[in-house]
């Protein structure tokens, strides 16, 4: 057989086309698979969530044991100026926290009552999507974690979070910390911070500081993937709402009303 | 080149004079000033061999940082099989180097190595015991470059 120029060109053209098709199909298949999966990966077997029993929480007026415990153990500065304030847990009136649950003739039991609000540790966290340095990311157990070493203070995450769960350190926080807890770092000026569901406590088998401090037992914390967990028990027996769930962030803090 | 002898002699005298401190130290048999580091009182060994810690403690700390925060792994198995909690404050400071100022800071100052920004956030337990305002005052030096 004579291998002439014509057959050489034909064979090389065909193999080039085959190679290109194979690569592009693989690329498209990969892309569509990524888009299809929800951010919550149940394969990891864990999906940590918090459930707040609103009635029990509101029983004692002015109670802020959870806030105190959280802010003390995480060295959260107490800055009164609302422009500079830093908060991990705070109180928000029902009508502000649950904007979409409003109606003119709604039961007024809750309207002006303060609700404890946290970072919602969303299943589809918008803050994680926008962070340019991966300083905030979603752990396999569902916690939306922060790495303050890596935060460059661009505040994209603050713009993306629909709950206002993130605070920026406009000032050096240390002078505003009443009692410094050496076990936990402070933050510096120029860093964003928020509730982290206490991974440092979970690692040693403890519950988050707020859950442990809540004497009225209004907070439950656990794994939604575990059918026998306390959170599943509470959610299975009573009706619960979430903050701005219609935005599609799939928040993991539930409120039993 | 008539002055070769003079020039060479002058050079020798010059070199002799400027190297006086070296000759002086060599003849007195004393080692020049070294930082007086306060070594751990209780602990006998570190999480890694001393020679490694002297040259590469910063690498180990960066690895610890990534392990604890990003990988969620908070225990470290040392070269000798012992396990330690990955914590700058609880392990390095509270268990061994109780006096940060007389160990870390003194050596960094002697070697002209700028105090790393670890301490902008991580807490020296000694500071935690002091009242608030003085804490703020001692920290300003370290965080000046951020302002």
Test B146 with A182 for CB contact under 8 angstroms.
Answer: no
DSSP helix/strand/coil, A254: strand
Angle between helices B4-18 and B20-28 (to 10 degrees): 50
Are A193 and A146 in contact, with CB atoms under 8 Å apart? yes
DSSP helix/strand/coil, B77: strand
Residue, of B24 and B138, whose pLDDT is higher: B24
Which residue of B lies nearest to A171 if distances are taken between CA atoms? Answer: B147
Are A148 and A187 in contact, with CB atoms under 8 Å apart? yes
The domain segmentation of chain A, as residue ranges, is 1-36, 45-256
Which residue of B lies nearest to A202 if distances are taken between CA atoms? Answer: B72
The pair of three-digit structure tokens given for residue A10, joined into one six-digit string: 């034909």
Residue B11 lies in a domain: no
Q: What is the pLDDT of residue A226?
A: 93
Closest Cβ–Cβ partner in A149, A187, A204 for B65: A149
The pair of three-digit structure tokens given for residue B61, joined into one six-digit string: 């700390």
Instruction: Read off the pLDDT of residues A89-144 as tens digits, 9 standing for 90 and up.
Output: 999 999 899 988 887 777 777 888 899 999 999 999 999 999 999 999 999 999 99
DSSP A140-183: TTS-EEE-TTT-----HHHHH-TT---EE--S-SGGG-SS--TT
Residue B41 lies in a domain: no
The confidence band for B22, taking pLDDT boundaries of 50, 70 and 90, is: confident
Q: What is the pLDDT of residue A63?
A: 94
Q: What is the pLDDT of residue B138?
A: 41
Neighbour tally for A34: CB within 10 Å = 8
Test B132 with A175 for CB contact under 8 angstroms.
Answer: yes
Residue B89 lies in a domain: yes
- The pTM of the full predicted model, rounded to 2 decimals, is 0.76
Q: What is the pLDDT of residue B62?
A: 95
Range of the domain at B103: 50-142
Q: What is the mean pLDDT of chain A?
A: 90
Percent of chain A with pLDDT over 90: 77
Q: With beta carbons under 8 A apart, name residues in chain A contacting B124.
A: 182
Q: What is the pLDDT of residue B19?
A: 94
User: How far is it, in rounded angstroms, from Cα A30 to Cα A33?
Assistant: 5
Instruction: Read off the pLDDT of residues A59-96 as tens digits, 9 standing for 90 and up.
Output: 999 999 999 999 999 999 999 999 999 999 999 999 89
Q: With beta carbons under 8 A apart, name residues in chain A contacting B135.
A: 174-175, 177, 180
Q: Is the dihedral of CA B62, B63, B65, B70 positive or negative?
A: positive
- What are the beta bridge partners of residue A52? A219, A255
Q: With beta carbons under 8 A apart, name residues in chain A contacting B69.
A: 145, 147, 149
Residue B14 lies in a domain: no
Test B121 with A187 for CB contact under 8 angstroms.
Answer: yes
User: How far is it, in rounded angstroms, from Cα B53 to Cα B47?
Assistant: 8
Instruction: Read off the pLDDT of residues B24-83 as tens digits, 9 standing for 90 and up.
Output: 888 887 777 788 888 888 777 889 998 999 999 999 999 999 999 999 999 999 998 999
Q: What is the pLDDT of residue B36?
A: 85
Residue B147 lies in a domain: no
The confidence band for B121, taking pLDDT boundaries of 50, 70 and 90, is: very high
CATH of segment(s) A45-256: 3.30.70.20
Residue B76 DSSP code: E
Interface residue ranges in chain A relative to chain B, Cβ cutoff 8 Å: 75, 139, 145, 147-149, 172, 174-175, 177-190, 199-200, 203-204
User: How far is it, in rounded angstroms, from Cα B66 to Cα B72?
Assistant: 8
| pLDDT of A38 higher than 50 | no
The complex's ipTM? 0.76
Which residue of B lies nearest to A141 if distances are taken between CA atoms? Answer: B72
User: How far is it, in rounded angstroms, from Cα A191 to Cα A155?
Assistant: 8
Count of domains forming chain B: 1
Q: With beta carbons under 8 A apart, name residues in chain B contacting A152.
A: none
């Amino acid at each position: 057989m004579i291998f002439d120029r014509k057959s050489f060109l034909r064979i090389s053209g065909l193999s080039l086309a085959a190679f290109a098709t194979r690569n592009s199909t693989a690329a498209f298949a990969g892309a569509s698979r990524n888009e299809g999966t929800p951010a919550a990966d149940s394969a990891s077997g864990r999906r940590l969530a918090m459930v707040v029993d609103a009635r029990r929480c509101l029983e004692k007026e002015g109670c802020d044991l959870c806030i105190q415990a959280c802010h003390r153990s995480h060295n959260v500065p107490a800055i009164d100026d609302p422009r500079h304030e830093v908060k991990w847990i705070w109180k928000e009136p029902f009508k502000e926290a649950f904007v979409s649950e409003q109606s003119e003739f709604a039961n007024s039991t809750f309207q002006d009552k303060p609700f404890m609000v946290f970072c919602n540790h969303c299943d589809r966290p918008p803050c994680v999507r926008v962070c340019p340095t991966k300083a905030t990311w979603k752990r396999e157990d569902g916690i939306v974690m922060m790495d303050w070493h890596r935060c460059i203070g661009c505040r994209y995450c603050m713009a993306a979070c629909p709950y206002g769960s993130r605070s920026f350190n406009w000032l050096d926080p240390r002078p505003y910390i009443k009692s410094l807890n050496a076990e936990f770092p402070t933050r510096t000026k120029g860093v964003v911070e928020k509730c982290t569901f206490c991974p440092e406590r979970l690692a040693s088998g403890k519950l988050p500081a707020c859950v442990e401090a809540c004497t009225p037992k209004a907070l439950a914390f656990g794994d939604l993937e575990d059918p026998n967990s306390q959170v599943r028990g509470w959610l299975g027996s009573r009706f619960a709402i979430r903050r701005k769930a219609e935005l599609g962030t799939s928040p993991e803090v539930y409120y039993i009303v | 080149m008539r002055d070769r002898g003079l020039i060479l002699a002058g050079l020798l005298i010059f070199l002799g004079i400027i190297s006086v401190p070296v000759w002086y130290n060599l003849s007195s048999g004393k080692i020049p000033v070294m930082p007086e580091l306060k070594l751990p009182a209780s602990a006998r060994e570190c999480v890694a061999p001393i020679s490694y810690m002297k040259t590469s403690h910063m690498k180990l700390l960066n690895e610890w940082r990534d392990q604890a925060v990003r990988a969620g792994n908070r225990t470290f198995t040392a070269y000798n099989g012992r396990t330690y909690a990955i914590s700058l404050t609880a392990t390095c400071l509270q268990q061994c180097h109780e006096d940060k100022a007389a160990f870390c800071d003194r050596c960094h100052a002697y070697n002209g190595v700028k105090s790393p920004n670890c301490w902008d956030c991580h807490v020296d337990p000694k500071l935690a015991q002091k009242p608030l305002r003085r804490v703020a005052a001692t920290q300003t030096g370290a965080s000046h470059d951020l302002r």
